[in-house]
């Protein structure tokens, strides 16, 4: 009997140790389900699939993340729940994006909300992100703006190469860089960024890997093959229904 009891106790102890922990995706779905989120953000979730996108980046508690040209902070808030109090999110906007998203920002950061999110308003020539400071950097539907210039309309011309070099320098070796953007027709390169706010997927991949990032994988959950690439993304016929590509890159390990 004593041997049998010992065997039972041993089994129970082993089972307790081996009990499955929540899946990795749980932390992202919990962030999306957070009670403090606005109804406006929850409406956006259906078309953004943010839990899947954050899971692709592999964001974890305690990490430091830059949400570059993050506008009103939709992703900044979600990521703040993932990284937790030991982590940090830096929401980076230039003056144009800050002004464009002023009302959203006011609502999101009222009454001391999101204490682990730091806001930074800078210009593209000096993003002030430091060196090897971040575990992850993301640009959601704003990468194409590196190739858009409208000084009279309030959007300054950006040196895209210098911009990407700053992001590469700011990312820790082995860290991840994630982009989401509106696809343009094949062969258009960066030309559609100016009028249509789109960019060719293959151009983006070549551009980003040319600045020290290694392409790792993509996510097809935001694709829409019926999108009309000839239309500006704000056209009612395609608004919120564009074909979007999601790419995950990693900062290459140092040689040697």
Q: Is 182 among the domain residues?
A: yes
* Number of domains observed in the structure of the chain: 1
What is the domain extent for residue 190? 23-251
Residue among 176, 142, 180 at smallest CA distance from 158 = 142
**Is 15 a domain residue?**
no
**Which residues, 6+ apart, have CB-to-CB distance to 255 below 8 Å?**
none
User: Which residue in 60, 130, 67, 77 sits closest to 97, CA to CA?
Assistant: 67
User: Residue 37: what are its φ and ψ, rounded to 5°?
Assistant: -75, 150
Place of tokens 């962030």: 31
- Residue 34 maps to a domain: yes
Residue 103 lies in a domain: yes
- Within a domain: 158: yes
Closest CA relative to residue 100, chosen from 71, 69, 124? 71
Asked if the structure places residue 12 within a domain, the reply is: no
- Distance CA(65)–CA(211), nearest Å, equals 19
pLDDT of residue 65: 98
CATH of the domain at 206: 3.40.50.150
Report yes or no on 71 lying in a domain.
Answer: yes
Residue 16 lies in a domain: no
Query: How far is Cα 90 from Cα 76, in angstroms, rounded to an integer?
Result: 8
* Global confidence as pTM: 0.88
CA 233/CA 214 separation, integer angstroms: 28
Alpha-carbon Rg of the chain, whole angstroms?
A: 21
Each residue's pLDDT expressed in tens, for the chain with a length of 256 residues: 333 343 433 333 333 333 333 346 899 999 999 999 999 999 999 999 999 999 999 999 999 999 999 999 999 999 999 999 999 999 999 999 999 999 999 999 998 899 999 999 999 999 999 999 999 999 999 999 999 998 888 888 999 999 999 999 999 999 999 999 999 999 999 999 999 999 999 999 999 999 999 999 999 999 999 999 999 999 999 999 999 999 999 998 764 4
Based on the number of CB atoms within 10 Å of its own CB, is 58 exposed (0-12), middle (13-18) or buried (19 or more)? Answer: middle
């Amino acid at each position: 009997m004593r041997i049998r009891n010992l065997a039972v106790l041993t089994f129970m102890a082993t089972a307790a140790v081996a009990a499955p922990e929540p899946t990795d995706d749980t932390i992202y779905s919990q962030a999306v389900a957070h009670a403090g989120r606005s109804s406006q953000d929850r409406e956006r979730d259906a078309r953004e699939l943010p839990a899947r996108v954050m899971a692709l980046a592999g964001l974890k508690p305690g990490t430091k993340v830059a949400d570059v040209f993050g506008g009103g902070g939709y992703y900044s808030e979600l990521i703040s729940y993932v990284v937790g109090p030991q982590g940090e999110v830096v929401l980076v906007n230039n003056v144009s994006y800050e002004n464009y998203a002023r009302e959203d920002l006011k609502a999101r950061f009222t009454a001391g909300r999101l204490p682990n999110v730091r806001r930074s308003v800078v210009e593209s020539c000096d993003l002030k992100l430091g060196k090897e400071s971040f575990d992850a950097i993301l640009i959601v539907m704003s990468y194409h703006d590196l190739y858009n210039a409208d000084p009279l309309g309030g959007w300054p011309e950006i040196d895209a190469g210098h911009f990407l070099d700053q992001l590469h320098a700011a990312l820790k070796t082995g860290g991840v860089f994630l982009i989401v953007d509106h696809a343009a027709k094949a062969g258009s390169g960066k030309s559609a960024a100016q009028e249509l706010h789109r960019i060719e997927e293959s151009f983006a991949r070549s551009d980003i890997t040319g600045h020290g990032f290694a392409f790792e994988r993509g996510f097809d959950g935001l694709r829409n093959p019926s999108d009309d690439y000839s239309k500006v993304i704000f056209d009612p016929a395609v608004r919120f229904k564009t074909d979007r590509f999601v790419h995950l890159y990693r900062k290459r390990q140092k040689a040697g």
